[in-house]
Amino acid sequence: MLNELSELSRIAYKFRVAKCPQLRKHSYTEYYYNLLKDKRQTIKKVLEMSVNTGASLRMWREFFPNAQIYGADISPQWMFKGKRIKTFLCDQSKKEDLVKLISHIGHDIDLVIDDGSHIPQNQVFTCLTLMSLLKKDAIYIIEDVADQSITRELESYDYEIPKLMKIRRYDNRLIVVRHKKGNKTSIIIPSRNESLEVAPGVTVLQRTVRDIYDKATGNFEVIVGFDGPPYQDFPDYPNLKVVKFPSVVGIKTMINALAAMSQGKYIYKTDAHCSFGKGFDEILQSDMEEDWIVTPRFYILNPATWEWQDKRFYDYFYLCCPFTDPRGFRFKAGGHWPQRTAEKLDVLIDETPQIHGSGWFMAKDYYFNFLGGFPNIDPYGHAQEPIWLALKNWLGGGKVMVNKKTWYAHMHQQGNKRGYSMSKHQTSLSYKLAVDYWLGDKWHERKHNFDWFVEKFMPMPTWPENWKELLASWKET
């Protein structure tokens, strides 16, 4: 029988740990082996609630060669310290003990096993207390579950009661608990000529991708698109796709292509030179409506330090008035609105007339089936990206929102050093196409005319009191 069982069951039997089927008490180790065998090298911290003789802790130490093993027990007599093993006194029925325990070990525990008191109320209390303190991908296992109805109190998490090798014992039962995973977010990065190095051998694009993997906490994938050569390489990140277009197709076409390839319910488009707030993907998803376009709080990124340039931030962006722009008839890029930002600090999720364009979040289905993606009338122009999304969504009956619960920081580029550089002719063409289309109410599926949008957000910087007369006069000509 021993030769037919997993390595973990054999290790458990060697230490006489009652989790293995050979001892005919519980049959957990066969399930554990299949659950954890691919994580043996990467699991760094294991916590077991219960120490007793320390046999189980020694089993985990042998099975996980790179892990520190922690044990917690209410009895002082079981405390000991060994190679890669450390134990703590802890009463699992007391919140202050559990919080103190995590403060000692850290929140980055990979695996928790509750083999403690086995009292149902303690099992629930310990699980709910510790799960709120653990990282998003932690695995939490409750052993010896005599009353499986305790799952009713665990519904704020994903859980399962796995099928085990049969042992005739009433409490041969596990509950495996995990943080709920939201819908997948596809983070798409259109890029061209992002060659600036922020560290020796590290480009700003490579640093942006690394920051996503450092900060995103939910279910996500990353898709980097190269709009023609030169191309760049990346570490072997999970769920990373790299698309190398042989020649330039333009940023709007690129965004459409990357969004079409994505597998997430949501897409987050970011420029190739940004940093992010921790958990930005889950925070945006948790406060989301299907007809919204959402942008996080906006900071300016210092690429040399990879930190905010300063503490200034912008929550709101306005649409610049084409009638008052001294440099031409256009929707000028930018529109940072510090006054409105300062006035509405206490509103965490709010309507904004426009977005910056360097970071936005929406449902993939909505992007294609309502907004229709970016149109082909200006495929090569990178300008006016916010106009074709945010203004269109307002006029189509949706909303554009800022979520101040999270943030991103964008590196401003000089005009002559832009990855997506454009000639003056192309820039003028992009501006003219956008202003003629939207001021002229040429979108036939709109629910509102352009003047409705301006009235909604007035008073708005750069818009004079006589804007209606100016608009009417422009339409006549």
Across residues 256-283, what is the average pLDDT?
96
Nearest to 87 by CA among 76, 98, 99: 76
Confidence of residue 419 (pLDDT cuts 50, 70, 90): low
| pLDDT given for residue 137 in this prediction | 85
Residues 6+ apart with CB under 8 A from 421: 193, 415
The pLDDT tens digits for 30-81 are: 999 999 999 999 999 999 999 999 999 999 999 999 999 999 999 999 999 9
**What percent of the chain stands above pLDDT 90?**
83
**Does the structure show a pLDDT above 70 at 453?**
yes
Bridge partners for 140 per DSSP:
112, 177
**Two structure tokens written together for 14:** 């060697």
**What whole-number distance in Å separates Cα of residue 196 and Cα of residue 293?**
30
Question: At the topology level of CATH, where does 2-178 sit?
Answer: Rossmann fold (3.40.50)
Domain with CATH 3.90.550.10 in the chain: 185-476
Across residues 25-31, what is the average pLDDT?
95
| pLDDT given for residue 416 in this prediction | 43
Average pLDDT of the chain to the nearest whole number: 93
**What whole-number distance in Å separates Cα of residue 452 and Cα of residue 455?**
5
Domain with CATH 3.40.50.150 in the chain: 2-178
**Two structure tokens written together for 388:** 């074709």
The pLDDT tens digits for 98-135 are: 999 999 999 999 999 999 999 999 999 999 999 999 98
User: Which CATH superfamily, name and number, covers 185-476?
Assistant: Spore Coat Polysaccharide Biosynthesis Protein SpsA; Chain A (3.90.550.10)
The pLDDT tens digits for 285-312 are: 988 999 999 999 999 999 999 999 999 9
Bridge partners for 410 per DSSP:
274, 300
Helix axes 95-105, 120-131, angle to 10 degrees: 40
